[in-house]
């Protein structure tokens, strides 16, 4: 039997063609992203699914009794209810490695644009107010030579650390679930406690996955430990931050500024106070969004999916679901 797969997100034609060589494909063609209720109607006979971040939980799996594999076009897989998937023997995959350098570029871009106030000053120039903001000088703060504290020294964290060290001569502190001697060796990074990192860093950058353990990892207490002159960057997931505490820390000038690619609620609510703060640079979750990298991610996700539904060796099963074998029909 040829496996049936449902492609819930737009993918390049080559990616669809690749999947079609092995599977019977259906895909979402709507102009807007597929909604959950629309997706639930499409999956009743699917063996495999290609998605980006849709929640895979008990309710979802109840609608997909044949499902063997879900392939995320993203490295983060906090959308997987791992227990629900384990219970039903549904494999989940993700797309690590191919996006590391692109996301690291974006993290540095966010650091630079927050420190040097690029969006604010870009707007000034375009509004015809070259060089003037009343009496206030248009000065920012340096990035080079400062201390960068990375929370979550994984694949992307390491790519960021290299840029900080070798591109900007920064001192790198890191906090991670486990110590990484290889990064200490290659980048000269120093492993430290979260508290020490927060106290010492000029830039605090969050690059952990979103898990029950990292939920609101940055809260009121953590922001209070940061230097008043420090900049907070979040390129992980919005839920790793207590957003209310971040807003208060900015309002109370406990920290200088923030650069955010991710938010607790996405798309971010139009009345979110972060959107009106000139010292906050906001992006619409575009860490990996270059043509090449999104192509590579989609192709990798397609290969993971095809391997999973055809019973070949799958490259990127997420660690918590390794060892599952799809039930044979």
Ligand X SMILES: O=C(O)C(=O)CO
Ligand Y SMILES: NC(=O)C1=CN([C@@H]2O[C@H](COP(=O)(O)OP(=O)(O)OC[C@H]3O[C@@H](n4cnc5c(N)ncnc54)[C@H](O)[C@@H]3O)[C@@H](O)[C@H]2O)C=CC1
- By annotation, the residues acting in catalysis are 237, 266, 285
64 binds ligand Y (CB under 6 A): no
Q: How far apart are CB 47 and ligand X at their closest, in Å?
A: 24
From start to end of 58-198, where are the E strands?
A: 69-72, 91-93, 147-151, 171-175, 190-191
Where does this chain touch ligand Y (CB under 6 A) — which range of 18-26, 80-88, 108-116, 235-243?
Answer: 235-243
206: three-class secondary structure by DSSP: strand
Where does this chain touch ligand Y (CB under 6 A) — which range of 127-135, 160-168, 183-191, 208-216?
Answer: 208-216
Considering only 55, 155, 216, 227, the residue that binds ligand Y (CB under 6 A) is: 155
Q: How far apart are CB 219 and ligand Y at their closest, in Å?
A: 13
Considering only 99, 104, 255, 309, the residue that binds ligand X (CB under 6 A) is: 99
Site for ligand Y in 106-145 (CB under 6 A): none
What is the rounded CA–CA span in Å between residue 91 and residue 325? 8
How many CB atoms sit inside 10 A of residue 221's CB? Answer: 11
Question: Is 278 exposed, middle or buried (CB count within 10 Å of its CB: 0-12, 13-18, 19+)?
Answer: exposed
237 binds ligand Y (CB under 6 A): yes
Q: Taking the mean position of all CA atoms in its chain, how far away is CA 179?
A: 22
Judged by beta carbon distances under 5 to 8 A according to partner kind, the member of ligand Y, ligand X, none in contact with residue 176 is: ligand Y
CB of 142 or CB of 213, closer to ligand Y: 213
What is the rounded CA–CA span in Å between residue 214 and residue 151? 10
84 vs 22, 49, 89, 90, 320, CA distance in Å? Answer: 27, 16, 9, 8, 12
CB of 173 or CB of 301, closer to ligand X: 301
Where does this chain touch ligand X (CB under 6 A) — which range of 70-78, 109-117, 189-197, 211-219?
Answer: 70-78
287 binds ligand X (CB under 6 A): yes
Concatenated DSSP letters for 231-255?
A: EEEE-S-GGGB-HHHHHHHHHTTSS
207 binds ligand Y (CB under 6 A): yes
Considering only 51, 67, 75, 249, the residue that binds ligand X (CB under 6 A) is: 75
# residues contacting ligand Y (CB under 6 A): 31
Where does this chain touch ligand Y (CB under 6 A) — which range of 37-45, 149-157, 196-204, 306-314?
Answer: 149-157
Pairing of strands 171-175, 69-72: unpaired
Residue ranges that bind ligand X, judged by CB under 6 A: 74-76, 99, 287-288
């Amino acid at each position: 039997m040829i496996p049936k797969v449902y492609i819930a997100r737009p993918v390049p034609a080559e990616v669809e063609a690749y999947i079609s060589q092995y599977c019977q494909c259906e895909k979402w063609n709507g102009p807007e992203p597929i909604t959950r209720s629309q997706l639930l109607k499409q999956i009743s006979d699917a063996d495999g699914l290609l998605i980006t971040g849709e929640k895979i939980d008990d309710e979802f799996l109840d609608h997909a009794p044949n499902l063997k594999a879900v392939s995320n076009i993203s490295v983060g897989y906090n959308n997987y209810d791992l227990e629900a998937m384990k219970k039903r023997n549904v494999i989940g995959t993700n797309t690590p490695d191919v996006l590391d350098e692109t996301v690291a570029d974006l993290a540095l871009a966010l650091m630079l644009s927050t420190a040097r106030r690029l969006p604010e000053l870009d707007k000034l120039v375009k509004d015809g107010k070259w060089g003037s903001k009343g009496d206030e000088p248009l000065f920012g703060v340096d990035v080079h030579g400062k201390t960068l504290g990375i929370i979550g020294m994984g694949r992307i964290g390491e790519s960021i650390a290299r840029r900080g060290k070798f591109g900007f001569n920064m001192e790198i502190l890191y906090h991670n679930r486990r110590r990484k001697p290889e990064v200490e060796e290659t980048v000269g990074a120093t492993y430290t406690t979260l508290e020490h990192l927060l106290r010492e860093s000029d830039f605090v950058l969050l690059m952990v996955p979103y898990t029950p353990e990292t939920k609101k990892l940055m809260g009121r207490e953590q922001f209070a430990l940061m230097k008043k002159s420090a900049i907070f960057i979040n390129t992980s997931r919005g839920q790793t931050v207590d957003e209310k505490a971040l807003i208060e820390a900015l309002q109370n000038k406990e920290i200088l500024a923030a650069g955010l690619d991710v938010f607790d609620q996405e798309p971010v609510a139009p009345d979110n106070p972060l959107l009106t703060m000139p010292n906050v640079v906001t992006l619409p979750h575009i860490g990996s969004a270059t043509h090449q990298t999104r192509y590579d991610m989609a192709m990798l996700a397609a290969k993971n999916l095809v391997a999973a539904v055809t019973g070949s060796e799958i490259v990127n099963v997420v660690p918590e679901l390794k060892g599952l074998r799809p039930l044979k029909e």
